[in-house]
Structure 1
Amino acid sequence: MSFSHAAAGAALICAATYVIGFAVLLTVLAPLGFGSEQIDAQAVTAFVHAHPLEMIAWNTLIYIVNALALVVLVVGLSLRLRGHQSGLAAMAQALGLIWAGLVLGAGMVANVAVERVVSLFAETPELAVQMWSILHAVELGLGGGNEIAGGAWLLTISLAERRAATLPGWLVVLGVLAGGAGMVTVVPPLGQSAGVVFGLGTLLWFGGVGLTLLRATPPAQV
């Protein structure tokens, strides 16, 4: 199997983590205010204490599995651009690896938050809520709450792919739009709605890139 096909599989894995992540968020965690400005920290902490394995599995999937697959995808796309090397392509690879590192770190912090809740909740539930709130804020800062790094990568890789003409035009446009939405998440009044646009757009982009790479004939050296 060529690395191009490995990158295709990685893109589809990234898309799948988004699908499962959205499904769990909307059906299980949304009633607790999770993912919104009205989050009920006490209710979430009680849920985490009651379902620690499920939360660790969810965190591991949406963060850690996603980050590791993202590394493969970033490298795979960079290899496809090596015949069209430019400063833009090099910047895209750097930003992609930075984003993957931040996502990985967010997953580690999220899982530590679950572990701390489990150890503290029985005797000092108030402290468990405070500890979870602090660690959740760190998680959001690394990548769960703003999408600046992901938006910057999507913008840069989409522009690099446009210059090299290695992806369909509609994927380039989708990447630019989703990347722009990710950058806008830093603006408080627009952050939540921009995050939804980024998430859905990135999901579709991952899926489209995966299918495109599967159909493409990879270069002999890739």
Structure 2
Amino acid sequence: MVNHLQKIAGVAALFQALIYIAAFAFFGAFWAFPTDADATEKFAFLTHHQTILSLVNLTMYVVFGVLLAVLVLALHQRLKSKAPVLSQLAATFGIIWVGLVIASGMIANIGLAVAITLSAKDAEQAMTLWITVNTIVEGLGGGNEVVGGLWLLLLAIAALKINALPKLLSYFSLFIGVVGILTIYPAEVLTEIFGLGQIVWFVWLGVILLMSSQAELNKNVKEQ
């Protein structure tokens, strides 16, 4: 059962990396929001693209959060026997991050729908609401990665203490965790470093979890 969970978590980590890449690609190459337009034109654009934006929010927040919950549980399972306190503390921040990420997606989509409806009556008031919603989403997790950074940092410390993960991966996790904590200062470059670092981390971790679960399976087969 434990080995099965590690395998599922490895797959989840790889999908999380794909979600990050897809989000970067979407907003970097395809999303052409008219920032210089007036409120009416902006909401005409949002109305036209509401479905795709809602799906993107659902994927990069809610689906990502569900996959993250699996990964948090699996890593806690991996670390708890030899580092119970650190593992439990890390899992606490991991679960909080899950909640914040999923909440961000739900608020983003409900806020989008309400703002678009309001824009038919008062575009300026709707824009004020839209800015407020975006600020809340950014504060919860879209542009602030402190909680996620703490999770990574504590995971790295625990993994280094008991050699639960490759040392290079643990040191990389330590670095990305510190960057995440530093995003408490609103600098876009820090958020971008954290995001790009997370892509590498999720892929790396996913491969390690899949390889270790397969190695454990092969070991069990030989012992039978």
**Would the TM-score normalized by the shorter structure come out above 0.5?**
yes
Q: SS where residue 84 of structure 1 aligns?
A: coil
Mapped contact 2:43–2:116 kept (Cα < 8 A): no
CA distance in 1 between partners of 2:166 and 2:108 (Å): 36
Does 90-99 or 41-50 show the bigger shift?
41-50
Q: Rg bigger for which structure?
A: 2
**Of the candidates 163, 166, 175, which is equivalent to residue 164 of structure 2?**
166
Number of aligned residues: 214
CA distance in 1 between partners of 2:101 and 2:138 (Å): 10
CA distance in 1 between partners of 2:213 and 2:119 (Å): 54
Paired amino acid for 2:104: A
Does 116-125 or 59-68 show the bigger shift?
116-125
Q: Cα gap change, 1:18/1:6 in structure 2, threshold over 3 Å: closer, same or farther?
A: same
Paired amino acid for 2:24: F
Distance apart, 1:186 and its partner CA: 1.2
What does residue 3 of structure 1 align with? 5
Does 162-171 or 104-113 show the bigger shift?
162-171
Counterpart check, 1:200 vs 2:202: no
What does residue 221 of structure 2 align with? none
What does residue 131 of structure 2 align with? 133
Distance apart, 1:2 and its partner CA: 0.6
Distance apart, 1:82 and its partner CA: 2.6
CA distance in 2 between partners of 1:47 and 1:122 (Å): 13
CA distance in 2 between partners of 1:41 and 1:17 (Å): 31
What does residue 99 of structure 1 align with? 97
Distance apart, 1:30 and its partner CA: 6.3
Mapped contact 1:41–1:129 kept (Cα < 8 A): no
Mapped contact 2:33–2:42 kept (Cα < 8 A): no
Q: Cα gap change, 1:92/1:115 in structure 2, threshold over 3 Å: closer, same or farther?
A: same
Q: SS where residue 216 of structure 1 aligns?
A: helix
What does residue 116 of structure 1 align with? 114
What does residue 25 of structure 1 align with? 27
Mapped contact 2:9–2:74 kept (Cα < 8 A): yes
CA displacement 1:116-173 (0-9 Å, x = unmatched): 1221222321122111111111111110111101111111111111112121122112
Counterpart check, 1:180 vs 2:178: yes
Paired amino acid for 1:209: L
**TM-score scaled by structure 2?**
0.88
Q: Cα gap change, 1:83/1:10 in structure 2, threshold over 3 Å: closer, same or farther?
A: same
Paired amino acid for 2:26: V
Q: Cα gap change, 1:213/1:157 in structure 2, threshold over 3 Å: closer, same or farther?
A: same
Question: Structure 2: which 5+ residue stretches go unaligned?
Answer: 218-224
Paired amino acid for 2:96: I
Q: SS where residue 31 of structure 2 aligns?
A: helix
**TM-score scaled by structure 1?**
0.89
Distance apart, 1:31 and its partner CA: 5.8
Q: Cα gap change, 1:48/1:9 in structure 2, threshold over 3 Å: closer, same or farther?
A: same
What does residue 36 of structure 1 align with? none
